[in-house]
Amino acid sequence: MIAVAALAACGHARADPANSGPYGAAYAGICNAISAAKADNAGRARTIFFNVSHQRIHELAAATEPVERGIAARLLEAKQRVEAEFLAAKPNTTLRADLVRLGVAMAKAMTVTAHVHPPTCPN
């Protein structure tokens, strides 16, 4: 309770992923892609990533860059690792971990840009 109050006092609200500002659906998509990767369904994870999250990640990075360039760079690096795995003939064993890192990078960018702190994706 104290942590929630502290976040609210700082102007950062903890929210449902899908309701976390303009990037919430993209963040929820990454959480769903993590779940798909955990179930060894790389095809579903890829579909979710490209259809739900990909474009919004670019937009989030662009919005984050003037505020916190380092966070924007880490977000794009995490996105590129995931893209490389999906574009390879067969995603490697780090897909789930790379998606988790992307979720963490998105959450940090959303915190500084949209002033929301989405819940951690299950991994």
The model scores a pTM over 0.85:
no
Residue 122 lies in a domain: no
Residue 64 lies in a domain: yes
For residue 65, the enclosing domain spans 2-117
- Summarize pLDDT for 12-67 with one digit per residue, the tens: 444 455 556 779 999 999 999 999 999 999 999 999 999 999 999 999 999 999 99
Report the C-alpha gap between 49 and 27 in whole angstroms.
Answer: 10
Residue 108 lies in a domain: yes
Q: What average pLDDT is seen over the chain? A: 85
**Own/partner pairs, 59-68, CB within 8 angstroms, 24+ separation:** 59/22, 59/23, 60/23, 60/26, 60/106, 60/109, 60/110, 60/113, 61/109, 63/109, 63/113, 63/114, 64/109, 64/112, 64/113, 67/112, 67/113, 68/109, 68/112
Can you give the pLDDT at residue 12? 42
Residue 29 lies in a domain: yes
pLDDT band, residue 6 (cuts 50/70/90): very low
Residue 58 lies in a domain: yes
Can you give the pLDDT at residue 20? 60
Residue 23 lies in a domain: yes
Can you give the pLDDT at residue 93? 80
Q: Which residue has the higher pLDDT, 123 or 68?
A: 68
What's the domain count of the chain?
A: 1
Can you give the pLDDT at residue 90? 74
